[in-house]
Amino acid sequence: MKITFVKKILVDGNPCPKCADVEKKLRQSGNIDRIDEVLIADVRDPDSAGMQLANDLQVTRAPFFVVERDGDVEVFTVYFKFVKQVLGGKTNSTEEAAELLNDNPDLDYI
Amino acid sequence: MNSHKLASDAVDQTPQQVLETAFDQHDAVAISFSGAEDVVLIDMACNLSDAIAVFCLDTGRLHPETYQFIEKVRDFYGIDIDVIFPEAESVASLVKEKGLFSFYEEGHAECCSIRKIEPLRKYLTEMDAWITGQRRDQSPTRSFVAQMQDDLAFSTAEKTMKKYNPLANWSSAQVWQYIRDNDVPYNKLHDRGFRSIGCEPCTRSTAPNQHEREGRWWWEEATRRECGLHVVVKDE
């Protein structure tokens, strides 16, 4: 199995906050060691490796994970699903709720 | 992929037609009621079915007028309303660490996650579908809301959650016309200039020329930062 982590660089050159948060969680949990490759998707540079991979796989959000195993390629744009389904890890429901809201901003308006 | 991008082909139906479809297709379907003008969904649903399920998220921070209105709706329509609450442990942890008004400093996402999303997600595990009063004209983040959609946010590997937004194509004016035409009860906060009603600390009245979104989280940007991957070419 090969796992690729793609994180975004914003137009101002700073890392995307959510990407930074996900990377922090990966490091705190020790799961960063299970990431085989980290690619940068620099929105100012369509030729950056992460932007090219996103384009190839038709991924429109960042961060994302690409998991290659037994010839299959699977993309995860939701961190907690990646942790549960690929790494076999646990996340807490508060963190999961925060990510759901981040990815679905209209949910706060209920 | 965003759930709101997965609009079904069934568009431009009346709200009543969308509700009928929801009730026909699912046994476990519930209407999300915020204590605001989405009461029209309850009014419409009561004309279509004798047994509707309605739930309300009590964040613990609603206006007194909203609690009174929820009770009034329960009595007026003679229905049960499931009032659902946040996990006490999650709220206690947030308040202990950051106080009762952390959203003014750090943004509303963390508080909303704990007080709304976490209990909503738990409640929806028992449902096959839910019905909301979301409309496209409510905010920039709702401009793609479809009348019917797969809701990937609350879907699991075992179950695809369906979401129905009968009012998606309606304007605020149409909703209020319906309320007036049908003598539907409404939250008294609307009479005081509240066009959008949420939690008390995060909601304020708006002027007639303001968008209703400006009555919510006014200290934050109009649109949230996004996680999209779009190439941005900077001017030299």
pTM of the predicted model as reported, rounded to 2 decimal places: 0.78
Tokens of B98: 């950051």
Q: What pLDDT was estimated at residue B42?
A: 98
Q: What span, in angstroms and rounded, lies between the C-alpha atoms of A104 and B4?
A: 8
Rounded to whole angstroms, the Cα distance separating B43 from B54 reads 11
Examine the pLDDT at A67 and tell me if it is beyond 80.
yes
Task: Find the radius of gyration of the CA atoms of chain B.
Answer: 18
Q: What is the pLDDT of chain B when averaged over all its residues? A: 88
pLDDT(B236) > 70: no
What is the value of ipTM here, to two decimals?
0.73
Q: What single DSSP character describes residue B188?
A: G
Q: How far is B58 from B115, CA to CA, in rounded Å?
A: 8
Determine the structural domain holding residue A39 and report its residue range. 2-109
Percent of chain B with pLDDT over 90: 70
Selected for mutation to probe chain A from B149, B156, B227 (highest A CB count within 10 Å) is B227
Residue of A43, A94, A102 lying closest to B118 (CB–CB): A94
Residue A24: CATH number of its domain: 3.40.30.10
Look at chain A and report how many structural domains it folds into: 1
Beta strand pairing call for B53-57 and B81-84: parallel
Say whether B227 and A62 touch across the interface (CB within 8 A): yes
Q: Across the interface, do A110 and B132 touch by the CB < 8 Å criterion?
A: yes
A25-54 pLDDT, tens digit each: 899 989 999 999 999 999 999 999 999 999
pLDDT tier at B227, thresholds 50, 70, 90: low
In a mutational test of the A interface, the residue from B118, B124, B216 whose CB has the highest number of chain A CBs within 10 Å is B118
Q: Which long-range contacts (CB under 8 A, 24 or more apart) does A65-73 make?
A: A65/A3, A65/A4, A65/A5, A65/A6, A66/A3, A66/A4, A66/A6, A67/A1, A67/A2, A67/A3, A67/A4, A68/A1, A68/A2, A68/A3, A68/A4, A69/A1, A69/A2
* Local confidence band at B232 (pLDDT 50, 70, 90 cut-offs): low
Put residue B183 in one of left, alpha, beta given phi > 0 → left and psi -120 to 50 → alpha: left
**Beta-carbon pairs below 8 A across chains A and B:** 107
Alpha carbon separation from B113 to A8, B38, B186 (Å, rounded) = 24, 21, 27
**How high does pLDDT run on average in chain A?**
90
Annotate B77-120 with DSSP letters as a single string: HT--EEEE---HHHHHHHHHHH-TTTHHHH-SHHHHIIIIIHHH
Q: What six digits make up the tokens of B235?
A: 């001017």
Written out in words, the top-level CATH class of the domain with range B3-190 is alpha beta
CA atoms within 13 A on the CB side of B14: 7
Residues 139-178 of B with CB under 8 A from A: 139, 141-142, 145, 153-154
Q: How many CB atoms lie within 10 A of CB B164?
A: 28
Amino acid, single-letter form, for residue B83:
V
